[in-house]
Amino acid sequence: MAVGVTTFISASLARGKRFAIGGSLDSRAGLSIGRTTDMLVRRVVNDSFRLDYRRKDHRRAREFFSAMAAAKITVTEVQRKCTLPDLHIRTEVDAMGVDKERRQVAIELKTTQHSKAAFSAAYFTACKNQPTLTNGLPNCLYWRHQLQCAFGVLATNSQRGVVAVMCEDGSLVYDVVPTALDRSLFVGAVSPEATQYCPLLPYPEHADEELTAALKKKLHYTKVVAHNPTVVRGAHGDAVLLLVRKGNRYKGSKAAAGHRARARQLAARHSAAAVIGWLEKGVWRFNTVVRRKVAASV
């Protein structure tokens, strides 16, 4: 099961650390503003609803369409669901549009209760709890929004992406930069089910010789080169080795699905094959989940 891109960013890339930069931008007071604006934008696009210029709660939705018109983008669709199965990530793009060059545009709509000046001053401030994301980018609102929108661009095969931020006194529009469109930045997602239902065994140092002998005989991996995770190496390349305990009802269980998902995730992260190993009646057995096509080292 794929995870949402925002969950992937916060749980995987930011290691689950709470995002905090200090000051009023940490407040959740703007959530209701965001929900109202999203709902109004959906009604305008789907139901031809007319916004009331006299109502304050309609102001950010009006500003959104004005900002898109100024950017020469015509909004054509809202809330498009999409996924990239190979990355195990999904999203629901806030809006889709077409620009003056007839390029398809993925649009990420953000709202804030703050002014443009206050928001801009904090937009590039790194999180105090986790300053850098695991993919090497700064852990700030700017890059979180860039990645969120960039995934929408990739998943919808769009040619452009924009992040539109509706502030108290106007709007800010940021194009998605090429750096954010690198697919390798999104490697490492694993479903909550896999995380919850894939208990692993520690590397059995007491049975190191026995395990490596079995690996050499059955899969031609000759040595263990790393731990946490365990990485084994052979003439044909490397593999991540997951050691598991199989019960009587393992086949078709959540644990089995979780182990396979975890194996695929680690294989992508380390550019290696992935093998599940278990001890059955005193004999080491193995199942290759991800095979290597081109030999390479971790």
Q: Is 161 found in the same domain as 14?
A: yes
Q: Please give the pLDDT value at position 23.
A: 66
Q: What is the mean pLDDT of the chain?
A: 90
Residues 6+ apart with CB under 8 A from 37: 60, 61, 64, 109, 111, 166
Domain extent for 250:
193-290
| Whether residue 51 is found in the same domain as residue 172 | yes
Beta strands in the chain (DSSP E): 3-4, 73-84, 89-99, 104-111, 160-167, 170-175, 221-226, 230-234, 237-244, 273-280, 283-290
CA–CA gap between residue 263 and residue 273 (Å, rounded): 9
Residue where one domain finishes, among candidates 187, 218, 244: 187
- Residue 60 corresponds to which amino acid? R
Each residue's pLDDT tens digit, 4-41: 999 999 988 998 888 998 765 545 556 788 899 999 99
Domain boundary residue, one of 135, 164, 187? 187
Indicate if the pLDDT at residue 294 is higher than 60. Answer: no
CA angle 99, 102, 107 (to 5 degrees): 40
pLDDT band for position 297 (50/70/90)?
A: very low
Q: Give per-residue pLDDT as tens, 52-68.
A: 989 999 999 999 999 99
The region of weakest confidence among 22-26, 131-135, 232-236 is 22-26
- Pair 198, 168 in one domain: no
Could you give the number of structural domains in the chain?
A: 2
Here the tokens at position 268 are 């992508």
pLDDT of 135 reads 92
Q: Which of 121, 155, 187 is the last residue of a domain?
A: 187
In 87-158, which residue ranges form alpha helices assigned H by DSSP?
A: 116-123, 141-155
Does 272 lie in the same domain as 226? yes
Q: Which of 69-83, 128-142, 189-203 has the lowest mean pLDDT?
A: 189-203
Instruction: Classify residue 208 by burial, with Cβ atoms within 10 Å: 0-12, 13-18, 19+.
Output: exposed
C-alpha 182/C-alpha 74 separation (Å) is 26
Q: Does 178 lie in the same domain as 283?
A: no
Q: Which residue has the tokens 């709660």?
A: 57
Most confident of 71-80, 224-233, 289-298: 71-80
Q: Which DSSP helix (H) or strand (E) runs through 270?
A: helix 254-270
Read off the pLDDT band of 295 (50, 70, 90). Answer: very low
Segment 124-140 mean pLDDT = 94
Q: What is the DSSP string of 61-90?
A: HHHHHHHHHHTTEEEEEEEEEEEETTTTEE
Here the tokens at position 129 are 């709890």
Same structural domain, 83 and 176: yes
State the pLDDT at residue 160. 98
Tally of CB atoms within 10 A around 90: 20
**Is 298 contained in some domain?**
no
Task: Give the range with max mean pLDDT: 101-105, 113-117, 193-197, 254-258.
Answer: 101-105
Do 18 and 146 reside in the same domain of the chain?
A: yes
pLDDT digits (tens, 9 = 90+) for 273-287: 999 999 998 999 999
